[in-house]
Structure 1
Amino acid sequence: MSRFCWPRGWAPTGCGFRTGCAGCWPRRASPWPGTTSATAASRPTCRPPPPATPSPHSSPSVKRHTRRRTWQMMPSPSWTRWGWRSAHLLGVSLGGAVAQRVALRHPGRVRSLTSMAAVPGDTSGLRAMRYIRMRTLAKFARLRFPDTREGAVAAGIAVSRLLASPRRPFDEPAAREAAERNADRGIHDQQAQSRQIGAQWHGPPISAITRPTLVLHGEDDPLIKPSAGKAIASRIHDSRLVLLPRVGHEIPECAWDTVATEIRTLATNSRQLPPAPGN
């Protein structure tokens, strides 16, 4: 659900998964290293969004109203257009909150739920601030980069450095490679960050989630406190909490095996449960 690239050389495909992402379309690909033809990934490729068109929702009052109702009008998950009736859902950071909300709105479409480095999906606005490290937000606010591709790459490296665990040497070459592969000028858009924090949720509480759930959180997360992961796990029945040592707000190589194994175990165990309503 989150806007991020699988680290080069890794995805949960070695455990038998086909991967896709919100806003992406899967395509056939030859097996990645470590996979067989039976477990090869459908590696996602992103289509550019359609050109922006003038909208009647351009006035501030309508924008606020539209944003306030965003989560009330959540459509069917995007993977339905790929022909997938249901999926194992992984969301990281804001994507974790979105994944929780999808599991609430569309339980029949979700086989299992993994929420990583996220706040509770029913917590929004000022209530979410209790889980946010304000010092890190202040550092984000001080970042200044030109609105160019080079500036986006530099911003990506700076953000990766801020979000990495302080108990592990920062891998700048890897951060640069990731930033160059996914140069996103919106990464230092403070207005976008404000919209994310301020988006409201008008649905049921996460305690109503019935799908098998895994909660992952880095012990050293410098942006979202581990108490957020603990709160999610305490409120979703039969969920499992895994705190990742030496991990920040990221998926570093040292955590790849653990993350993939935990997701694979969750998926395997979910097969033994009755299907969700509507599935």
Structure 2
Amino acid sequence: MSSSSAHPWSPTRWAENGSVRLAFDQLAEGADGEPLLLVTGLGANRHWVPDGLCRMLAAQGFAVVRYDQRDGGESTHFPPTTNRNPISALFTKRGAAYTAEDMADDAVAVMRALGWRSAHLWGVSLGGAVAQRVALRHPGRVRTLTTMASVPGDIAGLRTMRNIRMGTLAKFARLKFPDTPEGAVAAGVAVSALLASSNRPFDERAARASAANNIDSGIHDPQAQSRQISAQWHGPPISAITQPTLVLHGEDDPLIKPSAAKAIASRIRDSRMVLLPRVGHELPECAWGIITTELGKLAAVSHHRPQPPAN
């Protein structure tokens, strides 16, 4: 086995945004390709993005980097706040811990640490909203924008609820597991089952193996998730986004309604929406080919567009 196969990712590196430290790593394969920054979802660390998918992106011509958002993975975690679960965070005072602008600036901090003037951005779930905000706040840093399984990045509160299946969010918020490695594995299996497509058999054995290889307490940390959800956006609407944009969404997403993808695509000029069959709120292997092909097409479009200066 080659060293790149045994250790496909670089050692953990760190970026800084003020007092916040952000953990990231880079795929060894395709490191000389076009920069692609992966933005993770609610509470999840960067290891939830499948290695096989990242290798396919590298084969498509991308240099793949993933990072842990603040309050996730190895990045800086914040003190407890009054919001105790993600549902209450939708209704209570927002932005107490940090703002959505801060989270957008985190992505740029990672780019600076890498020496990247700009990159293609792909955000999943909450990461999709963050990526939209990066495109608004730092347009010169974003070559293309891909948002998947996300809500529009400029909505909050009750307007957010229109796009979310509250029954699933309630189940998600009720998950209780001990703060132990065994509890994290059990949480990983439960979350994977909850977010999977109902039109594919759920492979519990594979989910358990994946969770055992990625002990991530963030997926059952309601406090951290609440702080991420509570980060309020004060910037312009997503209709101001001008970068080539792709909107991906699973047809069977049990958490975020496909209408959210339609809303994003309708408001970003010249964006394109692709619904993924037999896909829930997840990144299953059956969708990897479509995802990598679509991101490759989008990158090709960007080659013919002038880039604004990076800030």
| Paired residue secondary structure (1:112) | strand
| Paired residue secondary structure (1:10) | helix
**1:119 to 1:166, Cα distance in 2 relative to 1, 3 A:** same
Kindly provide the amino acid, as one letter, of the partner of residue 244 in structure 1: L
| Paired residue secondary structure (1:243) | strand
Kindly provide the amino acid, as one letter, of the partner of residue 188 in structure 1: H
Match 1:171 to one of 189, 203, 208: 203
Once the two structures are TM-superposed, the CA of residue 59 in structure 1 deviates from its matched residue by 8.3
| Counterpart for residue 141 of structure 1 | 173
Q: Equivalents in 2 of 1:164, 1:59: separation in Å?
A: 30
**1:70 to 1:249, Cα distance in 2 relative to 1, 3 A:** closer
Structure 2 gap segments, 5+ residues each: 1-38, 83-92
Task: Write the deviation string for residues 21-61 of structure 1: whole angstroms up to 9, x where unpaired.
Answer: 1249xxxxxxxxxxxxxxxxxxxxx99447x7xx9x8887x
Kindly provide the amino acid, as one letter, of the partner of residue 71 in structure 1: E
Q: Equivalents in 2 of 1:187, 1:98: separation in Å?
A: 18
Once the two structures are TM-superposed, the CA of residue 127 in structure 1 deviates from its matched residue by 1.8
Task: Write the deviation string for residues 221-243 of structure 1: whole angstroms up to 9, x where unpaired.
Answer: 00000000110000000000000
| Paired residue secondary structure (1:19) | strand
Match 1:200 to one of 218, 228, 232: 232
Once the two structures are TM-superposed, the CA of residue 65 in structure 1 deviates from its matched residue by 5.6
Q: Equivalents in 1 of 2:95, 2:279: separation in Å?
A: 37
| Counterpart for residue 241 of structure 2 | 209
**1:14 to 1:135, Cα distance in 2 relative to 1, 3 A:** same
| Counterpart for residue 71 of structure 1 | 101
Q: Equivalents in 2 of 1:73, 1:254: separation in Å?
A: 31
Q: Equivalents in 2 of 1:64, 1:258: separation in Å?
A: 36
**1:153 to 1:264, Cα distance in 2 relative to 1, 3 A:** same
- Structure 2-normalised TM-score? 0.74
Kindly provide the amino acid, as one letter, of the partner of residue 240 in structure 2: A
| Paired residue secondary structure (1:67) | coil
**1:10 to 1:113, Cα distance in 2 relative to 1, 3 A:** same
Q: Is the 8 A contact 1:74 1:105 kept in 2?
A: yes
| Counterpart for residue 224 of structure 1 | 256
Once the two structures are TM-superposed, the CA of residue 157 in structure 1 deviates from its matched residue by 0.6
Identify the range of structure 1 (63-72 vs 122-131) with the bigger mean alpha-carbon deviation.
63-72
| Aligned pairs (5 A) from 1:3-22 | 3-5=45-47, 6-11=49-54, 12-22=57-67
Match 2:187 to one of 155, 169, 172: 155
| Counterpart for residue 276 of structure 2 | 244
Measured on the aligned residues, the alpha-carbon RMSD in Å equals 2.5
| Counterpart for residue 154 of structure 2 | 122
| Paired residue secondary structure (2:64) | coil
Once the two structures are TM-superposed, the CA of residue 137 in structure 1 deviates from its matched residue by 1.4
Identify the range of structure 1 (12-21 vs 76-85) with the bigger mean alpha-carbon deviation.
76-85
Once the two structures are TM-superposed, the CA of residue 246 in structure 1 deviates from its matched residue by 0.5
Task: Write the deviation string for residues 187-236 of structure 1: whole angstroms up to 9, x where unpaired.
Answer: 11223333333321100000000110000000000000000011000000
Match 1:269 to one of 297, 301, 305: 301
Q: Is the 8 A contact 1:72 1:201 kept in 2?
A: no
Match 1:89 to one of 98, 121, 136: 121
Higher strand share: 2
Q: Is the 8 A contact 2:81 2:227 kept in 1?
A: no
Kindly provide the amino acid, as one letter, of the partner of residue 307 in structure 2: P
Kindly provide the amino acid, as one letter, of the partner of residue 100 in structure 1: Q
Q: Is the 8 A contact 2:249 2:276 kept in 1?
A: yes
Q: Identity of counterpart residues, as a percentage?
A: 63
Task: Write the deviation string for residues 48-102 of structure 1: whole angstroms up to 9, x where unpaired.
Answer: 447x7xx9x8887xx9664364426843341211111111100000000000000
